[in-house]
Amino acid sequence: MIQIFRDANYNFIGNRKWAYIVSGLITVIGLVSLVTHGLRYDIDFTGGTLVQVRFDKTPSVGTIRSALSRIGLGESIIQEFGSSNEFILRMPLASTSSEELGKRIEGALAQEPSIGKAELRRVEFVGPQVGKELQWQAIYAVLFGLGGILLYIALRFDMKGGVAAVIAVFHDVLVCLGAISLAHREFSLPVLAALLTIIGYSVNDTIVAYDRLRENRGKTIAKGKTFAVQMNDAVNQTLSRTILTALTTFLSAVILFIFGGRALEDFAFVLVVGVITGTYSTTYIAAALVVDWTEYVEGRMRARKKGVVKAGEARKIT
């Protein structure tokens, strides 16, 4: 039998203070990048026009730009896309309308002999109204996703678990967004889909640990152990499954990143980052927060009990 961990017993929960510092640092780095670089949105969210062109030859960005400037689109953003003869042209909203644009671009490119034949492979136009709506839909999708998870865990387990899981997932979303910003990738609809998948994946992981904790508490082996130790046991018992699943999912995501083509690259990038942070956050955020919260509540209860006794003594004195 091949085994990664045999009777794993690492002190995850005990080291949670360090993990909080690490999580905090990573989140802050991501946030700083988000604030300074910002997030580059795809036309899905900003509105605008995107044209994907494939050429016979391999023209320079300058040649394409000079061809486009003939029809007043010299200000377009021109990027190589996947290979050296394929480009993405982005035009801001104001300068274009969808009508006839494809034809005009084709005509302008045809007049430049050095770039060979141009094939318009994709034309996307998103009006300002639609872009704004999609922005809101994206925010709603994430919020409702988190809300749905909170509700599910609160019903299946308890409120503490639900809140801690949502905080962990929220951390993952922030880390992914920060990574997108740092890597200068684009926030598009598929990236949103990847983000929601990560939300699902991260919570999946958390539930496995919670489930184990609940199962153990029903048994005698949990007797006499502090909550922190019980949680640490649950995390250790599910450790090999966590690592194995993270590994297979991670491999799938990496393969998607390598073989999926440029169109899926940003999507796969978020998955790769998300699988790592999702796996990490289960133990060091979701489980750790539940422990701290429970200890805090238990501490308050003990204090209150003491308080009652003191009050009784006080009454005796009078």
Task: Identify residues 200-219 at the interface with other proteins (CB under 8 A).
Answer: 200-201, 203-204, 207-208, 211-212, 215
Beta carbon of residue 190, minimum distance to other proteins (angstroms, whole number): 5
Note whether 220 binds other proteins by CB under 8 A: no
> Which SS3 state, helix, strand or coil, does residue 307 take?
helix
Q: Which of 8, 34, 127, 222 binds other proteins (CB under 8 A)?
A: 127
| Residue 178 identity (one-letter amino acid) | G
Q: What does the alpha-carbon distance between residue 173 and residue 68 come to, in Å, rounded to a whole number?
A: 38
Which residues from 157-196 bind other proteins, rule CB under 8 A? 189-190, 192-193, 196
Nearer to other proteins, 24 or 261 (CB): 261
What is the dihedral sign for C-alpha 55, 56, 60, 62? Answer: negative
Helices 239-259 and 227-237 pack at an angle, to 10 degrees, of: 50
**Residue 316 phi, psi dihedral angles, 5° rounding:** -60, -40
Note whether 135 binds other proteins by CB under 8 A: no
Provide the token pair at 267. Answer: 């999507």
Whether residue 150 contacts residue 78, with contact meaning beta carbons closer than 8 Å, is answered with no
Which residues from 7-46 bind other proteins, rule CB under 8 A? 7
Note whether 286 binds other proteins by CB under 8 A: no
Note whether 141 binds other proteins by CB under 8 A: yes
Q: Which of 110, 247, 301, 311 binds other proteins (CB under 8 A)?
A: 247
Q: What does the alpha-carbon distance between residue 104 and residue 123 come to, in Å, rounded to a whole number?
A: 12
What pairing do the DSSP bridges indicate for beta strands 48-55 and 77-81? Answer: unpaired
Which residues from 58-77 bind other proteins, rule CB under 8 A? none
- The H or E element containing residue 79 is strand 77-81
Q: Which of 13, 149, 180, 289 binds other proteins (CB under 8 A)?
A: 149
Q: Which stretch binds other proteins (CB under 8 A): 29-37, 92-100, 108-116, 289-297?
A: 92-100
Note whether 241 binds other proteins by CB under 8 A: yes
Contacts of 182 (CB under 8 A, 6+ apart): 29, 30, 33, 37
Nearer to other proteins, 72 or 260 (CB): 260
Nearer to other proteins, 20 or 170 (CB): 170
Note whether 116 binds other proteins by CB under 8 A: no
Note whether 287 binds other proteins by CB under 8 A: no
